[in-house]
Chains A and B, each alone.
Chain A
Amino acid sequence: KAGVTQTPRYLIKTRGQQVTLSCSPISGHRSVSWYQQTPGQGLQFLFEYFSETQRNKGNFPGRFSGRQFSNSRSEMNVSTLELGDSALYLCASSFSGVRGRPDTQYFGPGTRLTVL
């Protein structure tokens, strides 16, 4: 099976712009989670989508949003970019059929976003 793919791999934006990142999960996986990794805060949970519905959300401002399509592919959007949004954004997919039941997560390679 192909692994989790993320596009683009690298992105440079300026403050105030918006950005959309894409994640394609492993075939058959219906849960997609998004994470932000920065040197200062480490890895932090953004949100999880399952069957096109946001199932859980971390403590990030409303500028961070996401969605999931019927084929389980997911996108996340960050509007009005700030310098502090510079980070590695990772998505992970899992089979995770039952809400709240832990499952092995398979991570994508990440999108490195730089905000100038």
Chain B
Amino acid sequence: KNEVEQSPQNLTAQEGEFITINCSYSVGISALHWLQQHPGGGIVSLFMLSSGKKKHGRLIATINIQEKHSSLHITASHPRDSAVYICAVFGNEKLTFGTGTRLTIIP
């Protein structure tokens, strides 16, 4: 079993829909990152959080340390949100990554 599990693996939605991507982990962590990777490889760090909730524009990330679970929400989704979203946990002084969720937003 992977230390970091993401669901769903693939998600296709219509423009404007509310999107939720989930991440569960099984190890002790000090922080969790949400990353976005566009075709071509570039990775952008969206959030780093260790408790509660963070919001940036249309993106919201939450974490429940007791349940070892985090969610990434996208409100009013747009085709430019199409990308792979990767959850990564920081524990044992290193990042361990989930396998990613491929999101496709259809106009």
Contacts and interface: CB of A to CB of B under 8 A. Distances in A.
Interface of A: 33, 35, 37, 42-45, 48, 55-56, 58, 88, 90, 92, 99-107, 109-110, 112
B48 A104 contact: yes
Interface string B19-55: 0000000000011010100001111110010100000
Majority SS at the chain A contact face: strand
Interface of B: 30-31, 33, 35, 40-45, 48, 50, 86, 88, 90, 93-100
B42 A110 contact: yes
A107 B30 contact: no
Given A45-B96, A102-B31, A112 B45 contact: no
Q: Is the interface of B mostly helix, strand, loop or mixed?
A: strand
Nearest to A88: B41
Nearest to B98: A42
A54 to B, nearest CB: 12
Contacts of A44: 97
A92 B41 CA distance: 13
A56 B42 contact: no
A112 B95 CA distance: 21
Given A106-B45, A109-B42, A110-B41, 16 more contacts: A43-B86, A43-B88, A48-B94, A55-B93, A56-B93, A101-B30, A102-B30, A102-B31, A102-B90, A103-B48, A107-B43, A107-B44, A109-B40, A109-B41, A110-B42, A112-B41
